[in-house]
Amino acid sequence: MIPTLENLEELHESNDILGDTPALQSRLEEDGYRFFRRLQDVEMLRELRRQMLTTMQEGGWIKQGTDPVDGIAEPGVQCTEGDVEYTDVYHQVYRNQLFHESAHSEVMLKTVTDITGRPMTPQPQKVARLWFPNYTAHTTPIHQDYVHFQGTYENLTCWAPVGDCPIELGGLAVLRGSHKVGKVLEHHFSLGAGSLMIEAEDYEAMGLQWQTTNYEIGDTLIFPALTIHMALPNVTEDRLRVSLDNRYQAIEDPIAEHMTEPHLASMSPFGWDDTYADWDSDEFQYYWKDLGLEIIPKDWSFSNKGFEEACELARNGNEEAAHHLARQIKRAPDTEQAEIARKILAQ
Ligand SMILES: O=C(O)CCC(=O)C(=O)O
Ligand SMILES: [Fe+2]
């Protein structure tokens, strides 16, 4: 069942076992996630929120004349991952030093290390989600992170709102215990962020429960790469949702090549030199190069399959798929996929 507000349960909180590796591991084994209230430094996150939203206001996303920390979207402006307009402002936000540094905080490193019992590092590719209100067809659909981030099933995603995130602002929901499926389920084309989703019929038989919460700033949800999750729609009238989802891995595990590049670098040229241009410290610049991570190629099969499905659907008149293809043509007009998409849309 796709979660509705009536059938969402409250996340189990694990603050009582912080620092206790065996207890953290056994709860992770049982639930497929760990949730901690006020784990991260609230003052730091408030400052990060101010900085990120100020950049978004300069980019035209936040209503002029309002305090950026209120996160009030400029009326009439809406875009999402995959749109060139999104990448333009997103990459301005991506240059923020504190945004990257926040993933290296002592408490985050200690927590993920306590969970796995292995030396861990944040992956180079940090991720922010900047989600417009009432743009719900583009909400992150039901998925497992492995299809996007790859590497190993043990990688941990750490999701945290930058600001309070009540349910109506569209935080993350997880399907409790779903990691026990033990493999990557079939993913299909979706218009939502990431463009790949799992059909309800493929997990329903497990009889599991969706869980979420009214997140507050500092709260952090941590889960491995097979846990099924989704974002809830942002149904607020005018507020942007801002959140972080950074990934951590054991230093001895391999990393997929694309995770060593800035997020959405494939959508518009943007490198680490651009990211670091205004930083006043080089402590966390190119830090992973000294760790000797084993870099493995990206597996394109998941996204290629999604693209083929979008083509098939668009041929049959599906409007969401047509929208997806049009977006792809606009973003990268000279690629082979854009050529295929143009032919389909011309029919
Ligand atoms: O924040 C979102 O909308 C998606 C986040 C997500 O899927 C993740 O953190 O893995
Ligand atoms: Fe995800």
Q: Are residues 121 and 165 in the same domain?
A: yes
Q: Are residues 252 and 342 in the same domain?
A: no
* Nearest alpha-carbon partner for 124 in 303, 296, 246: 246
Structure confidence at residue 331 (pLDDT): 85
Token pair in block for residue 140? 């992150």
Structure confidence at residue 2 (pLDDT): 59
Q: How many whole angstroms from 344 Cα to the centroid of ligand 2?
A: 30
Q: Are residues 174 and 314 in the same domain?
A: no
pLDDT tens for each residue of 2-34: 567 678 999 999 999 999 999 999 999 999 999
State what percent of residues in the chain have pLDDT above 70.
99
Asked whether residue 201 carries a pLDDT value surpassing 90, the answer given is no
Q: Are residues 159 and 10 in the same domain?
A: yes
Q: What is the dihedral of CA 334, 335, 336, 340, to 10 degrees?
A: -70
pLDDT (average), residues 234-245: 97
* Residue of 135, 228, 243, 248 to mutate, ligand 1, most atoms within 8 A of C-beta: 243
Q: Are residues 339 and 203 in the same domain?
A: no
Expressed as residue numbers, the domain containing 156 is 5-297
Q: Where is average pLDDT lowest: 104-113, 126-135, 152-161, 262-271?
A: 262-271
Ligand 1 atom with the smallest distance to the CA of 140 is 3
Q: How many whole angstroms from 227 Cα to the centroid of ligand 2?
A: 9
CB-based contact 124:259 (threshold 8 Å): yes
Q: Are residues 109 and 245 in the same domain?
A: yes
Please tell me what DSSP assigns to residue 204: G
Burial of 284 from C-beta contacts in 10 A (0-12 / 13-18 / 19+): middle
Q: Are residues 276 and 345 in the same domain?
A: no
Ligand 1 atom with the smallest distance to the CA of 129 is 1
328: number of Cβ within 10 Å: 21
1: number of Cβ within 10 Å: 11
Residues 6+ apart with CB under 8 A from 54: 68
pLDDT (average), residues 208-221: 97
Q: Are residues 247 and 146 in the same domain?
A: yes
Query: Which of the four pLDDT bands, split at 50, 70 and 90, describes residue 267?
Result: confident
- CATH value at residue 101: 2.60.120.620
Q: Are residues 205 and 216 in the same domain?
A: yes
Asked whether residue 1 carries a pLDDT value surpassing 60, the answer given is no
Structure confidence at residue 347 (pLDDT): 83
pLDDT (average), residues 177-185: 96
Domain final residue pick, 297, 313, 333: 297
Asked whether residue 48 carries a pLDDT value surpassing 80, the answer given is yes
Provide Rg for the chain, Cα atoms.
19
Give the whole-angstrom CA distance, residue 99 versus residue 128: 8
What's the structural domain count of the chain? 2
Q: Are residues 233 and 337 in the same domain?
A: no
pLDDT tens for each residue of 326-343: 998 988 888 999 999 999
Asked whether residue 258 carries a pLDDT value surpassing 60, the answer given is yes
Q: Are residues 304 and 326 in the same domain?
A: yes
Ligand nearest to the CA of 139: 1
Structure confidence at residue 235 (pLDDT): 96
Please tell me what DSSP assigns to residue 130: E
**Hey, is 34 helix, strand or coil?**
strand
* Residue of 127, 129, 220, 227 to mutate, ligand 1, most atoms within 8 A of C-beta: 129
Structure confidence at residue 7 (pLDDT): 85
Mean pLDDT value across the chain: 95
Q: Are residues 229 and 345 in the same domain?
A: no
